[in-house]
């Protein structure tokens, strides 16, 4: 289609636009939106804003592995529901949602379906037609593209209000001179990700499974968060009880290993992760959780070194009163 990809300055902007643009363009039909409790703050805080503007938002629960409950989704639908926005895959625990089923439910009820695919886009195959996706957010820097460029896919024919008013750029919907170098870089990153996707999925998934098995075998108290198979190839999230994740991250960093305690994009926040709380982890357990994101260039040797380093640090942390 001629106009289905609209470039933005970030995934956050794409999420804001999807929600606010649909809410405004469809307010004659209704004011109800359905999302989940484990969305990125780009969605959750936009929903809070819309609530202040008079919209009603239902936040669906997830099960212990982070998957929404389809029955709860069906029950949440009201005659005035205008949008369902559920992320493709979670940024903290990597859980992949049943997107095709969610899309079918939305389609059957004539409700628009948006998915925040920032973590999934470029990592796993996505079929917007098969999954009845009407809007999809993505961000270049998640697939080795430049920072500062994102996109919103808007299915041809979907009515949406402009996000930035001004000139005629992006089909009059997102004004402002385009970030051409960023867009070119994004295009190249998508091309490479697409070309290498089958190979990368196999390689990174095998390394992820190896890492998980190795950690669980070497650190008997460790527990995997999220789903064992419905999970992004590059994501690992583990809990090591009684360990302060912040101290662990700093000590790993000193050894040249970059990890995160929750969402990498909000790693300056020290509040317990809303995602780990939603899957039922108590605050102290959530604060003992570590997130690893693997890249296509990581190797088994690096993982072996990581596990040795992790064990060394844990032996220091366990001895030390926290
Ligand atoms: N949505 C999800 C699921 C994310 O993981 C992120 C960032 O990591 C965003 C949205 C925000 O994207 P951006 O950093 O491009 O604003």
Span 232-269, pLDDT tens digits: 999 999 999 989 899 999 999 999 999 998 644 444 55
Nearest to 115 by CA among 45, 15, 191, 204: 15
Q: What is the mean pLDDT of residues 98-114?
A: 98
Of the residues 36, 138, 142, which should be mutated to test ligand 1's pocket, given the most ligand atoms within 8 Å of the CB? 142
* Range 243-268 burial, b when 16+ CB lie within 10 A, else e: bbbeebbebbeeeebebbbbbebbee
Nearest CA to ligand 1 atom 8: 265
Choose the catalytic residue: 47, 131, 258, 265: 265
Is residue 21 within 8 A of residue 161, CB to CB? The reply is yes
CA 148 to chain centre: 17
Provide the pLDDT for residue 1.
53
Phi (first) and psi of residue 313, to 5 degrees: -65, -40
Alpha helices of 125-272 — where are they, by DSSP H?
Answer: 180-218, 245-254
Collect all residues with Cβ–Cβ distance below 8 Å to 302 and sequence separation of at least 6.
none
Coil, helix or strand at residue 81: strand
47 among known catalytic residues: no
Distance CA 33, CA 55 (A): 8
- The CB density around residue 110, as the number of other CB atoms within 10 Å, is 9
What is the pLDDT, as a whole number, of residue 253? 94
Tokens standing for residue 56: 């009603």
Q: What tens digit of pLDDT does each residue of 193-246 get?
A: 999 999 999 999 999 999 999 999 999 999 999 999 999 999 999 999 989 899
Place of tokens 């789903």: 227
Q: Answer whether 116 contacts ligand 1 (Cβ < 6 A).
A: yes
Of the pLDDT bands very low, low, confident and very high (cuts 50, 70, 90), residue 270 is low
Q: Is the Cβ atom of 87 under 6 angstroms away from ligand 1? A: yes
Query: Structure pTM?
Result: 0.95
Residue 119 in contact with ligand 1 by CB distance below 6 A: yes
Q: Which of 312, 91, 306 is nearest to 215 (CA)?
A: 306
Mutation choice for ligand 1 from 86, 91, 120, CB with most ligand atoms inside 8 A: 91
């Amino acid at each position: 289609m001629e106009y289905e990809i609209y470039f933005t300055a970030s995934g956050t902007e794409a999420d804001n636009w999807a929600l606010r643009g649909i809410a405004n363009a469809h307010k004659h039909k209704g004011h109800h939106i359905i999302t989940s409790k484990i969305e990125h703050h780009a969605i959750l805080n936009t929903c809070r804003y819309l609530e202040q503007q008079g919209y009603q938002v239902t936040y669906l629960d997830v099960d212990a592995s982070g998957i929404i409950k389809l029955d709860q989704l069906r029950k949440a639908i009201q005659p005035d529901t205008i949008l369902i926005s559920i992320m493709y895959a979670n940024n903290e625990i990597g859980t992949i949602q049943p997107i095709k089923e969610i899309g079918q439910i939305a389609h059957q009820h004539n409700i628009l379906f948006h998915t925040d695919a920032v973590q999934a886009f470029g990592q796993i195959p996505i079929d917007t037609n098969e999954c009845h996706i009407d809007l999809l957010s993505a961000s270049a820097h998640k697939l080795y593209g430049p920072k500062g460029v994102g996109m919103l896919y808007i299915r041809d024919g979907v009515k949406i209000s402009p996000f930035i008013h001004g000139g005629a750029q992006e089909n009059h919907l997102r004004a402002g001179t385009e970030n051409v170098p960023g867009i070119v870089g994004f295009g190249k990153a998508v091309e490479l990700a697409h070309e290498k996707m089958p190979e990368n999925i196999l390689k990174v998934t095998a390394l992820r499974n190896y890492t998980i098995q190795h950690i669980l075998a070497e650190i008997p108290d460790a527990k995997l968060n999220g789903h064992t198979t419905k999970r992004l190839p590059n994501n690992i999230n583990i809990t090591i009880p009684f360990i302060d994740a912040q101290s662990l991250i700093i000590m790993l960093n000193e050894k040249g290993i970059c990890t995160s305690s929750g969402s990498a994009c909000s790693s300056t926040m020290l509040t317990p992760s809303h995602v780990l709380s939603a899957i039922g982890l108590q605050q102290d357990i959530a604060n003992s959780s570590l997130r690893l994101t693997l890249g296509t260039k990581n190797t088994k040797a690096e993982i072996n070194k990581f596990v040795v380093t992790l064990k060394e640090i844990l032996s220091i942390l366990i001895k030390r009163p926290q």
